[in-house]
């Protein structure tokens, strides 16, 4: 490839030199208007040819650059993911399902580096006209309509919500889930019909994004989420980690234990790995959807994602301070967890320039080396000492649990979410849950010789 580029460069030099000599010859001849016209025509042709050669040189340089990237990717063991080119050119969706403007936002003409990657935001909507709050914040904070096109996928056929979405014109693309029929569910699951419809909608919407529009990555949010000012900056910076690290399978904007008094607001730049799938504003790649779509569940898709058969010991990135918050108390879960936890989640309000930071500490080997040392070097204390505000001189401390019952008891006492999914605690990594308690860092952790999650703990 470098040889081809050199040939083009030499061609440009020879072409310009030849035309310079030809023009010198014409200018030195005594001339008439005919000679002047000929000279002008030669100049125009030379300029056109030079412009075309420059364009071809630029294209060859881009091909060379991305050939090098692909070569590096092929040499990396254990990864088959695509390099910086995140998105393919979107194609029109099924005309019967697209509402409003039919022009789909397109990616730039060339595949740029990761900071120019096109990552659509898929908004899952149903019958909340308050989707306006979600869309207003997305549009307000997104740095580029071209880089972050918004696709609103609506289920339920709710006309008022549809009118709200249509009111955004070409700022968003509005698609509608065509199958609104009730689903056949087991008799003891009739009250969970809504969860079945949500799973059906997710499958259809994600298939539209990855199959029809041909995007290579997407950020998924729901219609009751508000995003932080640096929401897009966060995903721009973490996307390369997800793309290049096969031990990761998502990036989430959510901290399950993100109540204001439990997070370090002085360090909103802090990020962690977690074995728990957080959802609530998350980034995935098309290759993950190719893996999940054939076995997508009929209901309870988020808990299904947390099962070992899906997670496959992969982790997600999550922030110390959440980049999303939920304002939707009413839903299919009938407010479960909302009054106790969700409404208290702290939404980050300080812009962090993540793309200017070195996030290599989140790579598995680096993170485990530093994080595990920090956890197990911290002095162990008893829950009673924390509750009594004792031993404050120690700074960061560790509370050790040994089984399901002690984890749940300690978590409840310290205000941490105590439910487990397939044995994994919310926001946990290698069984460790990190949070603030009365202003100091606490690690609720298993023994140092932890041997893995026990799904029977659920």
Residues 360, 149: Cα–Cα separation, whole Å: 28
Place of tokens 């703990």: 457
Q: In 252-332, where does DSSP find H-type helix?
A: 286-292, 301-305, 308-311
Count the alpha carbons within 13 Å of 108 in the hemisphere toward its beta carbon.
Answer: 15
Show the tokens assigned to 144.
């580029």
Residues 291, 286: Cα–Cα separation, whole Å: 9
- Burial readout 101-125 (b: 16 or more C-beta within 10 A, e: otherwise): eeebbebeeebbebebbbbbbbbbb
Under DSSP, is residue 148 helix (H, G, I), strand (E, B) or coil?
Answer: coil
Residues 6+ apart with CB under 8 A from 2: 64
Residues 421, 279: Cα–Cα separation, whole Å: 13
Phi and psi at residue 384, in whole multiples of 5°?
-60, -35
Q: Which residues pair with 315 in a beta bridge?
A: 248
Q: List the beta strands (DSSP E) in 102-158.
A: 121-125, 150-154
Show the tokens assigned to 87.
């998105």
DSSP letters for 177-196: -S--------GGGGGGHHHH
Catalytic option among 127, 264, 287, 302: 302
Show the tokens assigned to 334.
């009938």
Phi and psi at residue 340, in whole multiples of 5°?
-85, -35
Q: Is 309 a catalytic residue?
A: no
CA 355 to chain centre: 14
User: Assign residue 389 a region: left if phi > 0, alpha if psi is -120 to 50, beta otherwise?
Assistant: left
CA dihedral of 351, 355, 357, 358, whole degrees rounded to 10: 150
Give long-range contacts, CB 8 A cutoff, 24+ apart: 13-19.
15/46, 15/49, 15/50, 15/53, 16/46, 16/50, 19/46
Give me the active site residues, please. Answer: 302
């Amino acid at each position: 490839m470098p040889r081809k580029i050199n040939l083009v460069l030499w061609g440009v030099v020879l072409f310009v030199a030849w035309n310079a000599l030809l023009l010198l010859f014409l200018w030195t001849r005594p001339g008439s208007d005919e000679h002047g016209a000929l000279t002008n025509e030669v100049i125009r042709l030379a300029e056109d040819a030079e412009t075309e050669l420059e364009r071809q040189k630029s294209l060859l340089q881009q091909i060379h650059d991305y050939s090098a990237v692909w070569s590096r990717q092929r040499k990396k063991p254990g990864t088959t993911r695509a390099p910086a080119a995140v998105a393919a050119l979107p194609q029109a969706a099924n005309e019967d399902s697209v509402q409003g403007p039919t022009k789909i936002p397109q990616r730039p003409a060339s595949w740029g580096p990761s900071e120019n990657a096109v990552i659509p935001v898929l908004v899952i909507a149903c019958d909340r006209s308050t989707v306006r709050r979600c869309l207003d914040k997305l549009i307000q904070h997104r740095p580029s309509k071209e880089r972050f096109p918004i696709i609103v996928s609506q289920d339920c056929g709710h006309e008022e919500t549809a009118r709200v979405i249509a009111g955004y014109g070409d700022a968003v693309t509005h698609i509608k889930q065509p199958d609104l029929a009730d689903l056949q569910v087991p008799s003891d699951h009739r009250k969970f019909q809504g969860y079945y419809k949500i799973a059906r909608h997710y499958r259809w919407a994600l298939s539209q994004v990855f199959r029809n529009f041909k995007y290579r990555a997407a950020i998924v949010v729901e219609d009751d989420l508000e995003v932080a000012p640096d929401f897009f900056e966060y995903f721009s910076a973490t996307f390369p980690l997800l793309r290049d690290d096969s031990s990761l399978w998502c990036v989430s904007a959510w901290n399950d234990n993100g109540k204001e008094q439990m997070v370090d607001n002085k360090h909103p730049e802090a990020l962690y790995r977690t074995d728990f799938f957080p959802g609530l504003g998350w980034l995935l790649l098309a290759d993950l959807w190719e893996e999940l779509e054939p076995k997508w569940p009929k209901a309870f898709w988020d808990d299904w994602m947390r099962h070992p058969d899906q997670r496959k010991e992969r982790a997600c990135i999550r922030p110390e301070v959440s980049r999303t918050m939920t304002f939707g108390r009413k839903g299919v879960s009938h407010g479960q967890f909302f009054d106790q936890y969700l409404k208290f989640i702290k939404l980050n309000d300080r812009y962090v320039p993540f793309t200017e930071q070195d996030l290599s500490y989140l790579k598995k080997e680096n993170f485990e080396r530093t994080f595990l040392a920090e956890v197990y070097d911290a002095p162990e204390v008893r829950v009673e000492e924390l509750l009594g505000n004792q031993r404050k001189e120690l700074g960061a401390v560790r509370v050790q649990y040994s089984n399901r019952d002690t984890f749940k008891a300690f978590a409840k006492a310290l205000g941490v979410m105590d439910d487990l999914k397939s044995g994994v605690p919310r926001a946990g990594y290698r069984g460790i849950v990190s949070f603030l308690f009365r202003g100091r860092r606490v690690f609720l952790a298993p023994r140092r010789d932890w041997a893995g999650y026990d799904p029977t703990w659920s």
